[in-house]
Amino acid sequence: MTDINSLTSSEKSPSNNKPDAAALIGNPRPKTSEALLEVARKHIIPIVKKRISEEEIRNSTRGMLARRIAVILNEWLSATGQELNLIDQRNIITFLIKETAEQSLKKDVTTPNSTAADAKTTQSNTKGVSNDIIINAKSKVQALLLNRIDTVVAATLPRKELEEQLRNVVANILAEQRMQLNYKEQAEVLSLLLDDMIGLGPLEPLLNDPAVTDILVNGPKQIYVERFGKLELSTINFRDNQHLLNIATRIVSQVGRRVDESSPMVDARLLDGSRVNIIIPPLAIDGASMSIRRFSNRGITLEKMAEQGNISHAMAGVLSVAGTCRLNILVSGGTGSGKTTLLNALSQKIGEDERTITVEDSAELRLQQPHVVRLETRPANLEGEGEVTIRDLVKNALRMRPERIIIGECRGSEIIDMLQAMNTGHDGSMSTIHANTPRMALTRVENMLNMAGFSMPEKVTRSMISGAVHLIVQIARMRDGIRRITHITEIVGMEENTIITQDLFVFKFIGEGPDGKLQGEFVHTGIHPSFTSKAKYFGVEKELMHAMSLRN
């Protein structure tokens, strides 16, 4: 563990400021034995919890809490007839503060099962005078803190270790500045400082909220978030444009990219896999704009989607069989409709013995299979050289003995390579495309081929598409915020110059419930899928028949 001395400089507290008990306690020293600390944990913590409520702990300053615990410790020493030297007493008091206060604060953190109302309540509680005090304290402490620590060393430490190292330093600065904050407020100031130093600043609380799926930054003072399919204005903001640009630069530098005047637009990803798009001035007139698409840490499956009402159990069964049968699947939908999440769910039906290669602009697919090769595009350098496009990667993937190729999104000339791969033995490949209906998805594929400069007769183009794509799955985010699969459409061949399709399932809207949720049903059209023979070949014909027999 890096010692606090490597972080703090030799600067001392001003002589005219009398340090309180928090400053006198200092850090625990290794001289205090584990046995002694275990005695404190076993005998004194229960007394502290009995005599000082969690509410009192949260609302006490570190100095106040230290004095109260010191009284309890001395009473216990007197009652048991034991003696401790001053160093051990101070170390045990520090240990007790850490044990009791941190446990109390943990209970205040919003749990992953928080509802939208809980999230809104948490946000509203950060408004007002208390929030202003914390922000003001953070601003004052930050300037002084940076003069007392080695920022190079700090940047190399894990967050938890850095937090331990800085806790007393921050408490001392607050005491010197005569800012009376309770323990909870001090913890919030420290958390904000850590967010700015090694995290993503004001975005950290939003990234830690499991209910947030999208974060949309429109300049430093306007941040929208999506919770449960609905956009709402957040109370969080950046100090100014430069603060926002600093965070944007930190994000892109983590994945070896850059954002500046010569390259004002960039696609990147966070370390947790969330997708980020950043565009800065002069292209963004009102300040840097940032769009973050987050993905659930929970492994989404077709079965979970059925339980959530995104899809019926019958549809989940058919898609499961389609994945196992190595059908080439195109996931179609609008922006934010859940295409990538659905693609992740479909990919779970890929066998563990199959070699899969993923190609993306920014890596966000989360395949669980052991044999996966992930490829990611690269932008051009400052001289305009070195760019690697999706098409380059798809071409290279074909030389890597793939059994399945998954393209995060087809939107350009790479479509020709994808269709050729699907037509030349790489069955089971998948991709996403922006379109509002299955028929429009086919039209868009055709248009991409034409715009890419591939001059082929209309019949040849459509024949290539119908031979390559077996299934189109249409997904939409509806106005109640719920994402639903609206069509599962099978491509069955050509009739003259027209691609023939048949809907296996559709979602039929019925009305709106009293809770604002849309009501409808997933309807099986009664058409038997033409890939039954393939299901029989792969040994899953019974599963397909069972899925088609389910009523919902």
pLDDT, tens only, 498-518: 999 999 999 999 988 888 889
Output the pLDDT for position 8. 47
Answer whether residue 313 shows pLDDT above 70: yes
Output the pLDDT for position 33. 67
Instruction: For Cα atoms 241, 244, 249, give the angle at the middle one, nearest 5 degrees.
Output: 120
Q: Go through 294-328 and write b for each residue having 16 or more CB atoms within 10 A of its CB, e for each that does not.
A: bbeeeebbbeebbeeebbbbbbbbbbbbbbbbbbb
Q: 432-448 pLDDT, tens per residue? A: 999 999 999 999 999 98
The mean pLDDT value for 307-334 works out to 93
Instruction: For Cα atoms 189, 255, 435, give the angle at the middle one, nearest 5 degrees.
Output: 105
- Stronger pLDDT, 36 or 399, i.e. the higher one: 399
Task: Please determine, looking at this structure, whether the domain spanning 199-293 carries the CATH number 3.30.450.370.
Answer: yes
Q: Do domains 199-293 and 302-544 have the same CATH topology?
A: no
Domain ranges of the chain: 4-185, 199-293, 302-544
SS (H, E, C) 454-477: CCCCHHHHHHHHHHHCCEEEEEEE
Residue whose C-alpha is closest to residue 277's, from 286, 266, 287, 288: 266
Output the pLDDT for position 327. 94
Answer whether residue 59 shows pLDDT above 80: no
Output the pLDDT for position 194. 82
Answer whether residue 94 shows pLDDT above 70: yes
CA distance 332 to 339: 7
The first and second tokens of residue 304, run together, are 């979970």
Output the pLDDT for position 2. 46
Task: Please determine, looking at this structure, whether the domain spanning 302-544 carries the CATH number 3.30.499.10.
Answer: no
Q: Which residues are within 8 A (CB) of 239 and not within 5 positions of it... i.e. 6 or more apart?
A: 220
Residue whose C-alpha is closest to residue 305's, from 351, 345, 337, 275: 345
Mean pLDDT lowest among 36-45, 220-229, 406-415, 440-449 = 36-45
Mean pLDDT lowest among 106-110, 132-136, 230-234 = 106-110
- Stronger pLDDT, 192 or 7, i.e. the higher one: 192
CB 388 within 8 A of CB 414: no
Residue 174, Cβ neighbours under 10 Å: how many? 26
CB 531 within 8 A of CB 322: yes
Query: Could you tell me what percent of the chain has a pLDDT over 90?
Result: 26
Average pLDDT in the chain: 80
Answer whether residue 54 shows pLDDT above 60: yes
The first and second tokens of residue 200, run together, are 């993503």
Residue whose C-alpha is closest to residue 476's, from 445, 441, 442: 441
Q: Provide the residue type at 508 as one letter.
A: K
**pTM for this predicted structure:** 0.66
Answer whether residue 28 shows pLDDT above 80: no
- Stronger pLDDT, 366 or 9, i.e. the higher one: 366
Question: Which of 41-45, 121-125, 288-292, 447-451 holds the top average pLDDT?
Answer: 288-292
CB 165 within 8 A of CB 2: yes
CA distance 219 to 291: 11
